[in-house]
């Protein structure tokens, strides 16, 4: 599953080649959308919202793509061979200069302006942690409505805030010594604000690429815990654990020693785990 910074990088890569460009021809396999109707139109804007990529057309329609686990956007100069089979191309937009190809999407829709405005899921998305400006206090307020949730699930809930996937979830919670199974209610507003500021900083840093990292020492390791189950924690040597979390069974990597609940302040209300704070 791509993280929010993946989609922002994709948007940044596509903009110079597509914005203001006329789509000469458009097609795709498996009839995801009426691709040929895009031909003759100009891409007026490209937007990343969390893990969603939006290509706005000059006639008010919007191409909405979500990559899911397998999707990816590629750019190919005409005549260059593709890295994936053509039958995996759900959408191909050809301009005078190149082809933009969306392979293996989870979601691909062509929305009218009315459908875009009323889009149920897009409308419910929380603030994007990589938006140019963001009021992180409004993100904290959203999390207060999810006080009962384990924090490892809440940070992945794109209706609370957009952009955090499995990798950032694991890394952020490790960096803040947070037990992924503790409730949002365990944390005061300042602690949450601190967590979102770190998320935004790391994702902004990684927009530059080339390889995502949350570690800045010289030992070559890019990530603290993600993908390292069974290996020693870089800080304490304890084996990094992997657990499944939430209804979708998302993977969480964590160090049971460094992310021990007992090391943090917990609320005095003994019933907080059973309470629904909404
Ligand atoms: Zn550790």
pLDDT band at 262 (very low <50, low <70, confident <90, very high): very low
> Residue 256 Cα, ligand 1 centroid: separation in angstroms?
7
Q: Is 250 a catalytic residue?
A: yes
> Residue 195 Cα, ligand 1 centroid: separation in angstroms?
19
> Residue 211 Cα, ligand 1 centroid: separation in angstroms?
23
Q: What is d(CA 195, CA 188) in angstroms, rounded to the nearest whole number?
A: 11
Range of the domain at 146: 136-274
Is the domain of 141 the same as that of 118? Answer: no
User: How many structural domains are present in the chain?
Assistant: 2
Pick the last residue of a domain from 76, 98, 122.
122
Residue 66 maps to a domain: yes
What is the SS3 string spanning 37-82? HHCCCEEEEEEEECCEEEEEECCCCEEEEECCCCCEEEEEECCCCC
Is the domain of 148 the same as that of 170? Answer: yes
Q: What is d(CA 243, CA 173) in angstroms, rounded to the nearest whole number?
A: 14
pTM of the model: 0.83
> Residue 197 Cα, ligand 1 centroid: separation in angstroms?
22
- Pick the catalytic residue from 88, 142, 222, 250: 250
Before 65, cis peptide (omega within 30)?
Answer: no
In this structure, which residues have their CB less than 5 angstroms from ion ligand 1? Answer: 233, 235-236, 238, 255, 257-258
Residue 152 maps to a domain: yes
Q: What is d(CA 109, CA 198) in angstroms, rounded to the nearest whole number?
A: 33
Distances (CA, A) of 41 to 14, 36, 48, 143, 269: 16, 10, 20, 40, 59
> Residue 264 Cα, ligand 1 centroid: separation in angstroms?
15
- Pick the catalytic residue from 9, 49, 51, 212: 51
Residue 77 maps to a domain: yes
Residue 129 maps to a domain: no
Residue 131 maps to a domain: no
pLDDT digits (tens, 9 = 90+) for 129-160: 999 999 999 999 999 999 999 999 999 999 99
pLDDT band at 263 (very low <50, low <70, confident <90, very high): very low
Residue 82 maps to a domain: yes
Is the domain of 44 the same as that of 109? Answer: yes
Pick the last residue of a domain from 122, 144, 170.
122
Is the domain of 266 the same as that of 146? Answer: yes
Residue 130 maps to a domain: no
CATH number of the CATH domain containing 142: 1.10.8.50
Q: Is 2 a catalytic residue?
A: yes
Is the domain of 90 the same as that of 202? Answer: no
Is the domain of 269 the same as that of 142? Answer: yes
Residue 127 maps to a domain: no
Is the domain of 141 the same as that of 251? Answer: yes
pLDDT digits (tens, 9 = 90+) for 55-75: 999 999 999 999 988 999 999
Pick the last residue of a domain from 122, 150, 184.
122
Is the domain of 93 the same as that of 145? Answer: no
pLDDT score recorded for residue 218? 64
């Amino acid at each position: 599953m791509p993280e929010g910074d993946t989609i922002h990088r994709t948007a940044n890569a596509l903009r110079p080649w597509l914005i203001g460009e006329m789509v000469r021809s458009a097609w795709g396999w498996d009839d995801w959308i009426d691709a040929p109707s895009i031909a003759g139109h100009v891409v007026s804007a490209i937007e990343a919202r969390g893990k969603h990529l939006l290509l706005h057309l000059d006639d008010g329609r919007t191409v909405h793509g979500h990559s899911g686990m397998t999707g990816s956007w590629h750019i190919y100069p005409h005549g260059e061979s593709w890295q994936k089979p053509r039958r995996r191309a759900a959408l191909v937009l050809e301009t005078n200069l190149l082809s933009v190809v969306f392979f293996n999407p989870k979601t691909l829709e062509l929305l009218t302006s009315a459908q875009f405005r009323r889009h149920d899921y897009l409308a419910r998305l929380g603030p994007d942690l990589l938006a140019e400006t963001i009021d992180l206090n409004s993100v904290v307020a959203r999390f207060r409505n999810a006080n009962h949730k384990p924090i490892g699930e809440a940070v992945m809930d794109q209706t609370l805030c957009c952009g955090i996937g499995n990798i950032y979830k694991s890394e952020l919670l490790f960096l803040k010594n947070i037990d992924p199974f503790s409730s949002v209610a365990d944390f005061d507003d300042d602690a949450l604000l601190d967590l979102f500021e770190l998320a935004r900083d790391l994702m902004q840093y990684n927009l530059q690429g080339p390889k995502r990292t949350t570690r800045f020492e010289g030992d070559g390791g890019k990530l603290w815990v993600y993908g390292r189950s069974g290996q020693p924690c870089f800080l304490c040597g304890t084996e990094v654990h992997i657990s499944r979390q939430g209804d979708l069974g998302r993977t969480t990597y964590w160090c049971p020693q460094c992310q021990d609940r007992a090391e943090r302040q917990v609320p005095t209300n003994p019933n907080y785990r059973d309470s629904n704070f909404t």
